[in-house]
């Protein structure tokens, strides 16, 4: 989408593109392009993290007093858009975009002094302990318990769908510290060292064949009371604050734009039914492409609404739920369209050695059918994690009838 940028934003965009050209290596681009999960595995994501850290751009969304860049919402949008379109991997957000802002807002002076520098540098790699086998979309019905024992909590329970828990050395956890009539009450937000005795991780292999998510068990894990963020029993406030970042953070439309460009390149290649034909020349494919293009543009316009809200300091509220729902459902449809267009070439066990598939025609690189089908299969979870679409619609409807 064309946006009229102020002169200072145009200059900033040129700086971003220059940085990406100089520091985004071919290996990191390739890892990002061929990754079928949500986030690229270390060490490629860490290489990019360190490049941003050295530049001073790793925590661009944080307040300046905690290491933020002082960027305007528009500058953040420019960076996030250009980085994604150039093939940069998403920096693992659990530390930078989730627990980091929570500590900035609710953390004790000690927590800010100790954890924030370690998050910025990448010394700590975090995962998120929210979902449970019996408390997915209904997050507040969680059963993991934290019982006070002197200057420690004793944590017992389990978490599931924990992204990159097998890489992480730290986890932030919602645990019930007291039974209350309203289940949103009595929940606390704890920071737990993954090396603590009693913590164990079991891998979960996704439909796409990736090991990205896990089940994490806590068997009488001792957690220092100083690792409680905010007040005991008030952790639901931190959870709601964090979920605004998870659902409305970044530039959600960009992933759909990148997926749409992949879809276009699939259609441009000669994989039609007749010799020498291209799928993009078929009328029904053109209609479908036009429909998806229009929806991506509409989502980009909603992204601009988020930018405007951030510009005025307004809380994202249900706008984050709206965009999260639309973005995740649209991305699923685009990835599915790519798989359908590839037909038999999308089979995971067939290496497709035909023309190159790439986000950019300027730098085409091989991409096999398994990567496309893997993204589609793993993307089926996109309407569940971060808040299921059904729950988001309920949140939106309640806001509309106020």
pLDDT tens for 106-118 read 999 999 999 999 9
Report the alpha-carbon distance of residue 282 to residue 189 in Å, rounded: 54
By DSSP bridging, strand 126-129 and strand 170-176 are parallel
Per-residue burial over 323-350, b = 16 or more CB atoms within 10 Å of its CB, e = otherwise: bbbbbbebbbbbbebbbebbeebbebee
The 10s digit of each residue's pLDDT in 198-207 is: 999 999 998 8
Could you tell me if residue 215 is left (phi over 0), alpha (psi between -120 and 50 degrees) or otherwise beta?
beta
pLDDT tens per residue, range 272-314 = 555 567 888 889 999 999 999 999 999 988 888 878 777 777 7
**pLDDT (mean) for 121-149:** 90
Token pair of 314 as six digits: 């307004």
Contacts of 324 (CB under 8 A, 6+ apart): 247, 248, 252, 386, 387, 392
Contacts (Cβ under 8 Å, ≥6 apart) of 293: 260
User: Long-range contacts of range 341-345, CB-CB < 8 Å, 24 or more positions apart?
Assistant: 341/263, 341/266, 341/267, 341/271, 341/279, 341/285, 342/266, 342/271, 342/369, 342/372, 342/373, 343/271, 345/271, 345/369
Entry field: residues in the chain = 402
Joined tokens for residue 43: 């060490």
Q: Which residues pair with 190 in a beta bridge?
A: 173, 228
What average pLDDT is seen over the chain? 85
**Quick one: average pLDDT of 359-363?**
34
pLDDT of res. 349 = 42
Q: Which residues pair with 132 in a beta bridge?
A: 135
Residue 327 or residue 320, greater confidence: 327
In order of their start, the domains of the chain are: 7-91 (no CATH), 126-233 (2.40.110.10), 251-401 (1.20.140.10)
Sign of CA dihedral 124, 125, 130, 132: negative
| pTM of structure | 0.83
Alpha helix ranges (H) inside 195-282:
235-248, 252-268
Question: Environment class of residue 134 by beta-carbon count within 10 Å: exposed (0-12), middle (13-18) or buried (19+)?
Answer: exposed
Cα–Cα distance measured from residue 80 to residue 90, given in angstroms and rounded to the nearest whole number: 9
Instruction: For residue 136, name the pLDDT band (cuts at 50, 70, 90).
Output: low
């Amino acid at each position: 989408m064309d946006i009229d940028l102020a002169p200072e934003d145009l200059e900033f965009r040129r700086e971003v593109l220059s940085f990406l050209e100089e520091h985004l290596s071919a290996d990191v681009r390739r890892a990002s392009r061929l990754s079928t999960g949500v986030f690229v595995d270390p060490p490629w994501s860490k290489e990019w993290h360190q490049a941003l850290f050295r530049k001073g751009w790793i925590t661009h969304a944080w307040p300046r007093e905690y290491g933020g860049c002082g960027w305007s919402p528009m500058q953040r949008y420019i960076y996030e858009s250009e980085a994604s379109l150039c093939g940069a991997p998403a920096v693992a957000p659990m530390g930078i975009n989730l627990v980091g802002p929570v500590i900035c807002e609710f953390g004790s002076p000690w927590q800010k002094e100790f954890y924030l520098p370690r998050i910025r540098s990448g010394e700590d790699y975090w995962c998120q302990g929210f979902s449970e086998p019996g408390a997915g979309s209904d997050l507040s019905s969680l059963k993991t318990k934290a019982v006070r024992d002197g200057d420690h909590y004793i944590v017992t329970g389990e978490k599931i769908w924990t992204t990159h828990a097998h890489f992480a050395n730290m986890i932030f956890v919602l645990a019930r510290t007291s039974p209350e009539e309203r289940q949103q009450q009595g929940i606390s937000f704890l920071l737990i060292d993954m090396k603590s005795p009693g913590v164990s991780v079991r891998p979960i292999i996704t439909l796409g064949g990736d090991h990205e998510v896990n089940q994490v068990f806590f068997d009488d894990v001792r957690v220092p009371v100083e690792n409680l963020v905010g007040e005991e029993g008030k952790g639901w406030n931190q959870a709601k604050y964090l979920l605004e970042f998870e659902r409305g953070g970044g530039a959600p439309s960009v992933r759909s734009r990148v997926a749409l460009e992949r879809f276009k390149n699939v259609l441009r290649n000669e994989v039609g039914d007749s010799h020498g034909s291209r799928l993009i020349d078929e009328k029904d494919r053109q209609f479908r492409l036009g429909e998806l293009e229009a929806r991506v543009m509409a989502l980009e316009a909603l992204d601009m609404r988020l930018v405007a809200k951030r510009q005025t300091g307004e809380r994202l509220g249900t706008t984050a739920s709206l965009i999260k729902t639309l973005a995740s459902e649209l991305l699923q449809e685009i990835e599915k369209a790519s798989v359908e267009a590839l037909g038999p070439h999308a089979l995971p066990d067939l290496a497709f050695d035909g023309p190159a598939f790439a986000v950019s025609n300027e730098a085409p690189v091989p991409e096999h059918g398994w990567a496309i089908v893997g993204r589609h299969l793993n993307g089926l979870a996109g309407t569940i994690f971060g808040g299921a679409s059904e729950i988001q619609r309920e949140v939106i409807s309640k806001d509309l009838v106020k």
